[in-house]
Structure 1
Amino acid sequence: MSLRGGDPAEIGGYPLEARLGSGGMGTVFLAHTSSGRPVAIKLIHQQFAGDDEFRTRFRQEVAAARRVSGAFTAAVVDAATEDEQPWMATTYIEGHTLAERISAKGPLNGAELRRLAIGLAEALRDIHRVGVVHRDLKPSNVVLSPEGPRVIDFGISRAADQQTLTMTGRVIGTPPFMSPEQLQAPRGVGPRSDVFSLGTLLVYAATGRGPFDADSPYMTAYQVVHEEPSLGAVPVALRAVVESCLDKEPAGRPSADELLVLLRDLPTDLGGTDADGLGTGHTRDVITQHHLAMPPASTPFPVPAPDAAAPGEASDPDARAPTAHAPAGQDAPAAPADLDTGNIVIPTTGRRTRRRTRRRLHGRWRPVLAAALAVAAIGGGIAALQGGRHGGNGGGAKTTSVAAARTTPADLVKPWRTRVRGGDVPDELRCVARDNALFCGGGSVVATRIRPADGSQVWTVKSPGAPVSGMHLVGATDDTVIGYRIAPDNASDEPLVTVMAVDADSGKVLWSTPSGAEAEAVTGQAQAAVVAGTAVVAVDGSNSRFEARDAHSGDVLWTKSFPASAECSPVLAGQQLLAMCAPRAEVTALKVLHPTLYTLDGTSGKLGEPIAIKGSDVPMGVADGKFVLLREHPQGYSEYGYDEVVRVDLATRKVAYSPLAKTFDGAPGMVDGTVYMTGHTGVVTALDPATGRQKWSRQTVVEGASGPTAGAGALYFSSTTGRVVALSPDDGKTLWATNPQADGQEDDQNDGTRVAVMGHEVVVAASNNTLSAFDARNPPKAD
């Protein structure tokens, strides 16, 4: 629709072209970037702009939304949280909402329904992996774009909910698509609340009605908390998955990663709704009986525990021709089935009731699904699918061996594979080798010590909360391991980050201290602490100063306030400790364009003279005595776009810039004085940091590789599946490659090397917190 009188002509330099819609918290406008890219700009209503608490939470939400990749959501393009009226610009998504699609054409079925389910699970995986909870997953917040379903409007809806949650005993939401805990204990809502909402959404997509629909939203809310879902019209194969999502208890539901495993195993044709007499609301009882009767040999590998993560296939484009209708963040008109389910205020009830005899058997998702499909096969001719290729054993001392490719001499490392049990969000481990010990951590694991000989765990320290994306193990000294503990904040969905020290021998927690979480905005990396010698230098909890502590005792060695009006992060340039800072206004606006480097004295905390650099730069390391950074593309919004090498002479404070031949869209890394860019398609490019010129480029079999790691005359790159390729450092020639060692999505890229080298032993971190190892002289043979 056209602009109205009183609408602004432009926002943040973006000329407005049309009004797209208005919701409770803001109005959405259509605009274009200077390059012609369409964006949807949501402008916060004036009455909320003057609320300091709302501004703070909106700022946090914008920062969280920017951590989401945008592959399955509406990516944040720009934002100004400190303007008189805050606003956020996201990519404009073309397509009808799911609510409109159901209203116009009725329920989905078969392959179309399966694609929707997988696409939404992928979206939740993307959102949850960066510590964000959507809270408002409903048909009008799902856009069926040509590229597949996109989840929208999680930034501002969460900020608005948080404000409402300060009102004791009341909660705002959309009852048919809310979880029981949202209605009863909204401050404790976590990622599995979104899984419940996804279950209700899939029932709606398959039947045109929600599983708890009633004559009034109040009765609907009551049924969400206390009653069984109505699932008789849901295809029986999908019903088994949906029921697991609709468990009244969050712990009984699969994670988004586990849900992808279940949905991927469904047949393309989901079949009918009646199989073996399964009626409404009784599927789980029958499935459990079948599961308990199944012999242990029914799965080829040990079954993953509930925290296992095995990302599924990418969603296919929606078959319907889209129209330019629903932008990111727009509250689309509700379909008739959704007319009486708008946002209402509901008094919370007492403690949640547990369903009788509906106890969830943890760690048994795939066998349960296999049993359900077997039941479906009896009535509907659907072939049951077997469990996954790799399972893991939940991180116990016993490990699953990987078959060696050739006869292994006695002096070679015997291959092994294991999995470290963590929390709700796996697939984040990184490892460091220290002497003859191997320490790993990240995600929901603060740290674990692994025996290199067989992969067994000496000790493991876990973290209860969803991780900050890319926040992995800090490092290790001779006697101490430093990691991050990420815990939920009851007052805010933004995670609380704590730096924690663990005794290397016993696994005893020695000390912990709160840490700031703005490092990623300053450096492009989530790490907010570094190990420098026997000290740990971190940003303190107030995000206003550095704190140096003895790594083992935790004694404070020194503190140093940040420069005025700046926020900083510690960085290591070889053995030199640095402070990388940026103006606080730029950090807040998520547009760091004028960073400054300082040498940071490791014994006193004294700052050296400032060295100004330009652009949004990511530290890489040291080459030929110069500190090397990569400059992010100034007009690109991809998370991994780099177009220039920056070199800083710390002694003379001179800065040199060398443009790259093109903008590289991938994950960067640096080892032995060479910068490497790894692309999503498996291309690895070596760059000279002194000139920015390409040394060589090779196509590999490892898509979305993280790396590099150097060792034994080779460069190692690996993917989330544990597939490894070894390249010659001289010309990039492939020396050998392995098969995957874990379920995962090959092109799911993540910064930070996944390979650790201990002599000739290569240790690889992969999906599902899987670790595997082999001897580089006798690598597993690829098919």
Structure 2
Amino acid sequence: MAPQRNTGAGAEAELPEYAGHYRLESCLGSGGMGVVHLARSTSGMKLAVKVVHAEFARDPEFRGRFRQEVGAARRVSGAFTAPVVDADPEADRPWMATLFIPGPTLAQQVKRNGPMAPAQLRRLMAGLAEALRDIHRVGVVHRDLKPSNVLLAEDGPKVIDFGISRPKDSELRTETGKLIGTPPFMAPEQFRRPREVGPAADIFALGSVMVHAATGRGPFDSDSPYVVAYQVVHDEPDLAGVPEELAPLVVRCLAKEPEDRPTPDELMRELRSVAASYDTQVFIPAQRTGETPRPPSRAEEPRRRSGRRLGKRTVLGAGALGLAVIGALVLARSPGGDGGAPQNTAPRTTSAAWSAWEATLASKKNAPQCSYGAGRLLCSQPGVVFALDPADGHLLWRHAVAEAPVSGPPVLSGGLVQPSSGQVGRLEALDPASGKARWQRNMPAYVGLESTGGMLLLTGADGTVTGVDSASGDTRWSHRIPGHKAPYFAAFTGDPLAYATSTLDDGAGTRVTAVDPDTGEVRWDARLEGALKPLGTVGGSVVFMSLDEVYGDAKAVVRYNPDSGTSRRVPLKVPLQQAHGAVRGNLVHLMGTGGSLVTVDLKARKQLWSLETGVVRVSTPVADGRYVYVTTPDGRLLAVDARHGRLVGQTPSRLGSDADRVPAALPRPVIVEDRVYATAPHGTVFAVNGRDPSAW
């Protein structure tokens, strides 16, 4: 979906530049209930942020529905949807951020290229069946599956927009006289008895979606939504143009009675027997191999059929409230935090006898974000900062903070603990021994915060950067950085400089400015080719990911030497979606959404290895020279051999009683000596011996 600038009038022309911590850049789509924006996290990660119209934000019923939408989307794993990474249903303008997933919707694909070929249709049907199985098994009914809510991503179809979905156990029910949905893709029971709609309604919608994909029209078609409603309830579907091998399955999906329709598992079993040529390869867009995919020729496409389509969600009934479709494609905060932040590592020393441990000390609904400093594990959750003894995990102290989104783990700067708690407009620093506040300051609202050395760098909404002494809380300097409207900073362990990056106005390059955090003075400034994201430093050079300007996929690693002004580029064999990474010596470790872990050797100037982890969302990797560590949404810690790319160990999953929850962020592991510390979605902090991951 190509970003489009919002040019609407009225309230939409005055939408805020930020939703929470996320900068809204352009409009992806607009509907009756709100607008979906392409946005950026603090680290530069692409997100899709859905912002509700002001008029509906004042409606208590709509706020209840929006909370339900967020809850329903979070209950699904994210393998077949756009994972939710952050949301605030209680904000003045409620919003939800999801992972931005590049690719057209099914509606766009059919409109541009005509009906799909039979092999593509089989794969589409199998992918949607898998998606519905994933959605239904956590107790959610989508209730508005249609072509514009099916995103054709590289790794298969994704079901988006849970705006009118409903958990089976929800107390919020459709009111009498309010039939909400899109008539050509609604099941008969959605018209006859909307309060009793169950998972079988999504199967009916799947059948209608398949007819649209095969013919360019729906099985029931009219300009009038009332006529369509009559046809859905009483008439037989028009399946002309649906391939013979799929027609019987589509007919079963479109059965008038819910009990006569197949389940997702039955569909997948029958699809495997439809044709021996059935496979599970991705279909749209083509797998990226560095070559531009060739569009199908006219001879390869089935004949197009004319027909009118009802593309808008319609409400039938007096005074009905319709929830308009807004496709949410995204990730808010980068999973695991800012890929440009310093790695949580400490020098390896010889450790004494030590045992693994596990502790749950604060909220059981969020994975703590932790770092190491002053001989302590320093951790944050919404509303609390706490310190643990790294030897046995017992609680040393805890300190209450405002209940606000956690933008990152606490860090030790200037000898004090900086909570990084997301308290916009307020700073405080804590004694690492007791957790008591050493100083507190009210600051102008800021949208970016980076800690480096003994300084805190705050970026204001107007682009002004303020340097605050971490030890005293005193302001050292405050001014704009030349050439940057609203710079985001990255700082790295052992490097005395901080790096501000901004995309050039022509979109073809990146301006990088190295700043002395103590004074705010510019040490060097460069305009580099391509969209770049800083990952770390090595030997006086800065290492970047080079990103695709359209989709944001990582396509290369770039090493820039500011002394000589030269760059060395190492291309990746296959681009990585929504990648984040870390630098350890001459090795760069990149993790992409979809589970691809790649390591690049800067010295040898080549991609060293690639490993498919099989996990859709994984944290930013950290490494100690021997192993690369990442955490997963189900609370596992994975260890991979850093030189050869082999999975050498993993811990058991830690989901607890909230197994249906989707964590908003996946905190990075922390390496201290020969120990590895990680966190799980149900609030656990645990420690394992990093010397022998195979024994986990």
TM-score, length of structure 2 as denominator length: 0.55
Distance apart, 1:540 and its partner CA: 4.5
- 433, 452, 473: which one aligns with 1:505: 433
Instruction: Judge conservation of contact 1:446–1:484 (CA < 8 Å) in 2.
Output: no
Aligned partner of 1:671 among 584, 592, 595 = 584
Do residues 622 (structure 1) and 537 (structure 2) align? yes
Equivalents in 2 of 1:780, 1:562: separation in Å? Answer: 48
- Flag the 1:43–1:61 CA change in 2: closer, same or farther, 3 A: farther
Letter in 2 for 1:432: S
**How big is the shift at 1:473?**
2.0
27, 43, 46: which one aligns with 2:9: 46
Between the aligned partners of 2:522 and 2:360, the Cα distance in structure 1 is 43
- Whether 1:335 aligns to 2:294 is no
Please list the CA deviations of residues 526-574 of structure 1 after superposition, one character each: whole Å capped at 9, or x if unmatched.
xx21221xx2231244543332222222122333432266222332254
Q: Distance in 2 between matches of 1:66 and 1:335?
A: 35
Q: CA 1:195 to 1:426, structure 2 compared with 1: closer, same or farther past 3 Å?
A: farther
For the pair 1:57 / 2:16, whether they are aligned, the reply is yes
Deviation digits for residues 398-418 of structure 1 (CA, Å, limit 9, x no counterpart): xxxxxxxxxxxx953222222
Cα distance in 2 for partners of 1:625, 1:746 equals 45
CA distance in 1, matches of 2:319, 2:480: 55
User: Aligned partners of 1:695, 1:618: CA distance in 2, in Å?
Assistant: 21
Select 1:426's aligned residue among 366, 375, 379: 366
Q: Using a 3 Å threshold, how does the CA distance of structure 1 residues 749 and 690 change in structure 2: closer, same or farther?
A: farther
Aligned to 1:582: 502
Contact in 1 for aligned 2:547/2:556 (Cα 8 Å): yes
Report 1:244-263 matches (<5 A). Answer: none
Task: Measure the CA separation in 1 of the matches of 2:594 and 2:488.
Answer: 32
What pairs with 1:65-84 in structure 2 (closer than 5 Å)?
A: none
Q: Is the counterpart of residue 475 in structure 1 residue 396 in structure 2?
A: no
- State the SS of the aligned residue for 2:420: strand
Structure 1 residues 117 and 756: CA distance shift in structure 2, 3 A:
closer
1:694 alignment partner, one of 589, 599, 607: 607
Q: Deviation per CA, 1:628-659, whole angstroms, max 9, x where unpaired?
A: 1102211215xxx2012222212233344443
Amino acid at match of 2:576: F
| 1:660 is aligned to 2:660 | no
Go from structure 1 to structure 2 and tell me whether the alpha carbon gap of 1:453 and 1:611 turns closer, same or farther (over 3 Å shift).
same
Alpha-carbon distance, 1:454 to partner: 2.5
- Specify which of 682, 688, 694 is matched with residue 768 of structure 1: 682
Within a 5 Å distance, the mapping from 1:154-233 to structure 2 comes to: 199=170, 203-204=173-174
Equivalent-residue separation in structure 2 for 1:233 and 1:747 (angstroms): 25
Relative to 1, partners in 2 of residues 1:680 and 1:61: Cα closer, same or farther, differing over 3 Å? closer
Cα shift at 1:612: 0.9
Q: Deviations over 1:121-151 (max 9, x none)?
A: 44999557244667599x9995554567632
Task: Please name the residue that 2:465 is paired with.
Answer: 546
Whole-angstrom distance in 1 between the partners of 2:593 and 2:459: 35
Q: 1:318 and 1:119 mapped to 2: Cα distance?
A: 24
Q: What's the TM-score once normalised by structure 1's chain length?
A: 0.50
Matches for 1:341-352 after TM superposition, within 5 Å: 341=321
**% of aligned pairs identical?**
16
Which residue number corresponds to residue 63 of structure 2? none
User: What code does the residue aligned with 1:415 have?
Assistant: A
CA positional deviation for 1:89: 10
Q: Which moved more, 1:700-709 or 1:504-513?
A: 700-709
Residue in structure 2 matched with residue 359 of structure 1 by the alignment: none
Show structure 1 runs of 5+ residues with no match: 1-37, 81-87, 92-113, 154-176, 178-193, 211-230, 237-314, 344-409, 488-495, 520-527
- Aligned-pair CA distance for 1:693: 2.1
- In structure 2, runs of 5+ residues without a counterpart are 41-46, 51-67, 97-140, 151-156, 180-192, 199-262, 269-306, 324-350
* Deviation string, structure 1 residues 136-178 (Cα, Å, up to 9, x no partner): 99x999555456763278xxxxxxxxxxxxxxxxxxxxxxx9x
Q: What CA distance in whole angstroms lies between the structure 2 residues aligned with 1:760 and 1:466?
A: 33
Q: Deviations over 1:275-329 (max 9, x none)?
A: xxxxxxxxxxxxxxxxxxxxxxxxxxxxxxxxxxxxxxxx979999xx99687xx
Of the candidates 458, 471, 476, which is equivalent to residue 557 of structure 1?
476
Partner of 1:569: 488
Partner AA of 1:617 in structure 2: L
Paired residue type of 2:623: A
Structure 1: distance between partners of 2:375 and 2:409: 18
- State the match for 1:301 in structure 2: none
Q: Go from structure 1 to structure 2 and tell me whether the alpha carbon gap of 1:454 and 1:39 turns closer, same or farther (over 3 Å shift).
A: same
SS of the residue aligned with 1:472?
A: coil
Aligned residues: 469
Quote the Cα distance in structure 1 between the aligned partners of 2:533 and 2:632. Answer: 22
Residue type of the partner of 2:396? V
TM-aligned CA distance change 1:729 to 1:668, over 3 Å: same
Secondary structure at the aligned position of 1:731 is classed as coil
**Are residue 705 (structure 1) and residue 618 (structure 2) matched?**
yes
Match of 1:536 in 2: 455
CA distances 1:436-470 after superposition (whole Å, capped 9, x unpaired): 211122x51563211123322222234444426xx
Equivalent of 2:376 in 437, 441, 450 = 437
Contact 2:6 2:26 in 1 (8 A): no
What value does the CA root-mean-square deviation take over the aligned residues?
Answer: 5.3
Structure 1 Cα separation of the partners of residues 530 and 468 of structure 2? 32
| Structure 1 segment 248-397 matched on structure 2, within 5 A | 332-336=313-317, 339-341=319-321
SS in structure 1 opposite 2:497? strand
CA distance in 1, matches of 2:404, 2:264: 29
CA contact under 8 A between 1:417 and 1:455: conserved in structure 2?
A: yes
Distance 1:633 1:680 in 2: 15
State the shift of 1:753 in Å: 5.7
Q: How big is the shift at 1:478?
A: 6.9
Partner of 1:406: none
**8 A Cα contact 1:629 1:645, kept in partner:** yes
